[in-house]
Chains A and B, each alone.
Chain A
Amino acid sequence: MTTLSSPLRATTADAPPSSPGPRRRARRTPRDWLRDGGLSTLVIALPMILVFGVFSWFPIGRALVMSVQQTNLISTPEFVGLENFVFVLQDPLLGKAVANTLWFALLALVFGYPLPLAAAVLMSEVRRMRGLFSALAYLPVVVPPVVAVLLWKFFYDASPTGVFNTIAGWVGLGPFPWLQNADSAMPSLVLEATWAAAGGTVIIYLAALVGVRTELYEAAEVDGAGVWRKIWHVTLPQLRGVLFITLILQVIGTSQVFLEPFLFTGGGPNNATLTILMLIYDYAFGSSLGGNYGAATALSLMLAGVLAVLSAIYFRVTRPWSS
């Protein structure tokens, strides 16, 4: 993998020499620009400018405008001030969706945050067949998410002969209702989501563990530290940066969870798995009468705002020790 990573790492070290071509005091005329190859540069830049312009910059700007407009594709858009935001904030389903999304995020942290770390630390101590360990851990990540959800939906069959209920029956438990019950539905979604994502986090931690300075282990041993104290005082502090990145990534990812509730339960039972992104989807595309695009954009901007504030606070708090 050296061929891959070394050029990436080298970028900051040997920065390229400053841009070629004559630097002139005098104003450049369009003719100078043409002669210096300005036109062909622009032609080569065109795919990036057009694709980003039309499919990224323009829609982002449009989101800001749409959030203060009444738009439904039928009548002409009309400016309504903060009405969309008021509509969303007064929607009785919003509280439910926010609470469910927070519940999902919290459960995902409890299931999915310590597990990959523990697995990665243990795997980094493996001397033989380490590749086999990481390949097995990563395998669920490559399964297409839709296939994974549909497969697990069958595993979660509530009858005593369902796959998971059969296994639970071997140890005298169950049968559990899994997705059918308002209390167990969300943990069931999180279990599948954790299965599908944990391998990626393990790989990130494994890569970070390679960079841990091993001399410090020697020093800790001289001071009489055992395995646990070495992990706690040497390994984990050196992983702070990456632990912080995975935490932020996980919060940003789980706050936009859609696939699992959409395909497993459709938000049910009794809205127990309705998430913020599902509510946005319902506003915009859920009704055949034409979407409430203004409300959908308003809610997505509010979510983006909360995420931005969260990451900013987290950066502030952890800056003293994350660099």
Chain B
Amino acid sequence: MAVKNQAAVAERGIVSAHDRRRASVRGSLGVLQGGLLATLVLAGLGPILWLAKAAVTPTQDTLRQPLGLFPHGVDWANLATAWGRAEIDHYFVNTLILAVGAWFFQLLVATTGGYVLSVLRPRYGNLIFGLVLATLFVPAVVLLVPLYLTILDVPLLNISLLNTFWAVWLPMGASAFNVLLVKRFFDGLPREVFEAARVDGAGPFRLLWSIVLPMSKPILGVVSVFAVIAAWKDYLWPLLVLPDPDNQPLSVRLPAIAPYLELDVFLAALAISTVLPIALFLAFQRLFLSGAGLGGAVKG
């Protein structure tokens, strides 16, 4: 018995292996977990499945029997109408452009910044690192208005970035969490490899591009996926700095066009906007579920 317990130690949870074999314990645990699974399916998957169904259901059916299962057949044309006539295609492309640009600048700032702070370590490095960390403690709301005025009149350049994608891309690059994440990853890389590369005559640019970045694919993956997701989710900031509808992403356009669209087309538009984030989630599930995205919550 004792030996068996030893083997189970690594895997055991709150309920011991011994208790798990008892019928009453197994029964109640099964009921609880079955109930949890049912609740999760209903609450987590339910609304998304409903949206998928409503996207291809005629308006009248959705209004009269919102929970009926295709009372009068399927209307696939909703998707095409939303994509084409409601110009979802155009806003989808805008969202993609915003996401790709935000991804590029977040990666650029985080990798070069992390490299300087972790590997090159100039004398002013600690000061800069301190200033970067300090921004983590400033709630986003403080930046809202002064950052907006900065976009209207960028210091040094004296130009306005209003209505340009730069207004979304560049501020997203200033993510202290990304710099911290990448710096800590670089800190864990073996220094001997860097020294060997230096002895072989690699300069700082070559060292970053050919040695450090190829060794850092896991963390670059984390930063990339969360950069794209964050850009896809953003609402208030693009609403402020992209007043021209031609440049707006899906998140800003959807509430604006809602009153002008027929319900079935609108729900199809919502469904189309959800496809890419869900596809990313399914493809990179382990990344999301490992808790690596804690930073998304911190940024608030």
Do A and B come together as binding partners?
yes
Partner-B contacts on A (CB < 8 A) = 1, 3-5, 7-8, 10-11, 14-17, 19-20, 37-38, 40-42, 44-49, 51-52, 54-60, 62-63, 66, 71, 73, 119, 121-126, 131-140, 142-148, 150-152, 154-155, 161-163, 166-167, 195, 199-200, 203-204, 206-207, 214-215, 217-218, 221, 227, 230-231, 234-235, 249, 252-253, 256, 258-259, 262-263, 277, 280-281, 284-285, 291, 293, 296-297, 300-301, 303-304, 307-308
In this complex, what residue of B is CB-closest to A135?
A: B285
Q: A204-B294, A249-B300, A253-B297 are in contact. Are A60 and B142 (CB under 8 A)?
A: yes
Main secondary structure of the interface of A (DSSP, over half): helix
Q: Mask for B173-185, Cβ within 8 A of A = 1, else 0?
A: 1101001010011
- Whether B122 is near chain A, meaning CB under 8 Å from some CB there, is yes
Tell me whether B150 and A54 are in contact (CB under 8 A): yes
Q: A44-B205, A124-B13 are in contact. Are A143 and B300 (CB under 8 A)?
A: no
Q: A47-B113, A48-B116 are in contact. Are A57 and B135 (CB under 8 A)?
A: yes
> What is the CA–CA distance of A244 and B146 in the complex, to the nearest angstrom?
31
Which chain A residues lie closer than 8 Å to B50 at the CB level?
163
Which chain B residues lie closer than 8 Å to A249 at the CB level?
297-298, 300
23 A-B interface contacts by CB (under 8 A) = A5-B290, A8-B181, A44-B120, A44-B205, A46-B112, A47-B173, A55-B147, A55-B170, A55-B173, A62-B150, A63-B145, A71-B149, A135-B285, A144-B274, A155-B47, A203-B291, A204-B297, A214-B12, A249-B297, A256-B141, A280-B144, A300-B144, A303-B139
Tell me whether A41 and B143 are in contact (CB under 8 A): no
A49, A63, A122, A138: the one within 8 Å of B146 (CB): A63
State which residues 201-229 of B face A: CB under 8 Å.
Answer: 203-205, 208, 218-219, 222, 229
- Whether B48 is near chain A, meaning CB under 8 Å from some CB there, is yes
> What is the CA–CA distance of A207 and B289 in the complex, to the nearest angstrom?
9
6 smallest CB-CB distances across A and B, nearest first, come from A48-B113, A7-B188, A59-B146, A136-B40, A207-B291, A62-B146
Main secondary structure of the interface of B (DSSP, over half): helix
Partner-A contacts on B (CB < 8 A) = 5, 9-10, 12-16, 29, 32-33, 36-37, 40-41, 43-45, 47-48, 50-51, 63-67, 105, 108-109, 112-113, 115-116, 118, 120-122, 128, 131-132, 135, 137-150, 152, 154-156, 170-171, 173-174, 176, 179, 181, 184-185, 187-189, 191, 195, 198, 203-205, 208, 218-219, 222, 229, 232-233, 235-236, 240, 250-252, 254-255, 258, 263, 267, 270, 273-274, 277-278, 280-281, 285-294, 296-298, 300
Q: A144-B250, A214-B9, A280-B144 are in contact. List 4 more A-B contacts (CB 8 A).
A: A16-B118, A52-B174, A206-B291, A281-B236
Q: A11-B184, A55-B173, A280-B145 are in contact. Are A150 and B258 (CB under 8 A)?
A: yes
Q: Report the minimal beta-carbon distance from A204 to chain B, rounded to whole angstroms.
A: 6
Which of B14, B208, B274 has most A Cβ within 10 Å? B14
Tell me whether A140 and B47 are in contact (CB under 8 A): yes
B14, B142, B222, B274: the one within 8 Å of A147 (CB): B274
A8, A125, A150: the one within 8 Å of B15 (CB): A125
> What is the CA–CA distance of A183 and B156 in the complex, to the nearest angstrom?
50
Tell me whether B148 and A284 are in contact (CB under 8 A): yes
> What is the CA–CA distance of A133 and B122 in the complex, to the nearest angstrom?
47
